[in-house]
Amino acid sequence: MIGTKSFEAIVNGEQVKLNIPQNLRLIDVLRNYLGLTGTKEGCGEGECGACTVLVDGEPYNSCLLFALQVQNKNILTIEGLASYNNLHPLQESFLEHGAVQCGYCTPGMLLVAKALLDKNPNPTREEIKVAISGNLCRCTGYSKIVDAISAVAEKGVKR
């Protein structure tokens, strides 16, 4: 029988303290314990990027992490991207460019894009493509996603 352990982290700016089974994946804590179902599970084996969250600003597949590996870290999920009543510029841009179809890849795409722009506010189209290349999208053919991210980069909106 797998024992429980105390798990502490900052999730979307809030301190979280839980007792969880030691073998629980980060995605399960987010979805099943914290109700943050914006993080999607596409494959559960690190191939699709749908489960991407930011850990201390870096994109990670939350299906490949044990929650206890991110003990005391700062985690951002899609629910934490917008501020109280304003969408994040990337979210606005995805809407404006029609970069969302079924939406399953969208949370991961947005968070990877945010991580990219935080580090490199003026990426080239090629750099944007490399950044999102670990995130599969079945619907859009990627064009409008790349357009949406470059539009934010060009505007140089404060993020």
Partner 1 sequence: MKKRGIGIGCTFYGTGYGNGFPDISTAFVEIHDDGSVLILTGAVDCGQGSTTVLTQIAAEELGIPTDMVTITCADTGCTPDSGTTAATRQTYTTGNAIRLACQKAKKTLLEWAAKELGTNTIEGLVIAEGKIMVKGHPQKSITFKEACAKARFAGNRLIGEASFTTHATQVNMEDGQGAPYWPYAFGTQIAEVEVDTETGKVEVLRIVAAQDVGKAINPQSVEGQIEGGVAQGLGWSLLEEVKLSSGNITNPAFSSYLIPTVLDMPEIETYIIESHEPTGPYGAKGVGEPAMLSAAPAILNAIHDAIGVRINDLPATPEKILEALQEKK
Footprint of partner 1 (CB under 8 A): 42-43, 45, 47-48, 97-98, 100-103, 129-130, 132-146
CA distances from residue 85 to 80, 109, 113, 121, 130 in whole angstroms, order as listed:
12, 21, 21, 24, 31
Place of tokens 């809407």: 95
In angstroms, rounded to a whole number, what is the distance separating the alpha carbons of residues 37 and 8? 19
User: How many residues would you count in the chain?
Assistant: 159
21 binds, among ligand FES, partner 1, none (CB under 5 to 8 A by kind): none
Tell whether residue 111 is a contact of ligand FES (CB under 6 A).
no
Residue 7 or 104: the one with the smaller Cβ distance to ligand FES is: 104
User: Minimum distance between the CB of residue 58 and partner 1, rounded to whole angstroms?
Assistant: 20
In angstroms, rounded to a whole number, what is the distance separating the alpha carbons of residues 128 and 145? 10
67 binds, among ligand FES, partner 1, none (CB under 5 to 8 A by kind): none
User: Minimum distance between the CB of residue 16 and ligand FES, rounded to whole angstroms?
Assistant: 21
How many other C-beta atoms lie within 10 A of the C-beta of residue 9? Answer: 20
60 binds, among partner 1, ligand FES, none (CB under 5 to 8 A by kind): none
121 binds, among partner 1, ligand FES, none (CB under 5 to 8 A by kind): none
Tell whether residue 28 is a contact of ligand FES (CB under 6 A).
no
Tell whether residue 94 is a contact of ligand FES (CB under 6 A).
no
Q: Which residues have C-beta within 8 Å of that of residue 2, sequence separation ≥ 6?
A: 21, 22, 23
